[in-house]
Amino acid sequence: HVQLVESGGGSVQAGGSLRLSCKSTGWTQTRLCMAWFRQPAGKERGGVAYIDSDGTTEVAESVKGRFTISEDSGINTLALQMTSLEVEDTAMYYCAATWHCGRRWFVASLYSYWGQGTQVTVS
């Protein structure tokens, strides 16, 4: 079955950068569409960035120009490069995968597979 494992979280000062990675295993043929979500303490989980099976990407307005999503399909690794981090970016970040690709990428309930999360703290 599909498994997702995130890494790369940590604590950073405002204005700094972090790179999150998500290693996926468990499927071989059809490519899933993948995304990063985040959930600040006490708040709902929201979409941050998405990459479709054809490589098309989307990012939330709040992180546009600062976060970049990429995928190395050869090693089944999804990445989120985060720059110019702000205190408001503090959250648990989750990698997620779905067979339901499309314009509603930011809807968490459409994703069947989730990682355990990695904490990002900006101060």
The answer to whether residues 92 and 38 touch, using CB atoms and an 8 Å cutoff, is yes
| 73 compared with 52, residue with greater pLDDT | 52
% of residues, the chain, pLDDT over 90: 80
- Burial (0-12, 13-18, 19+ Cβ within 10 Å), 13: exposed
pLDDT band of residue 29 (cuts 50, 70, 90) is: low
| 55 compared with 86, residue with greater pLDDT | 86
Mean of the per-residue pLDDT values of the chain: 93
Alpha helices in the chain (DSSP H): none
pLDDT at 73: 77
pLDDT at 75: 81
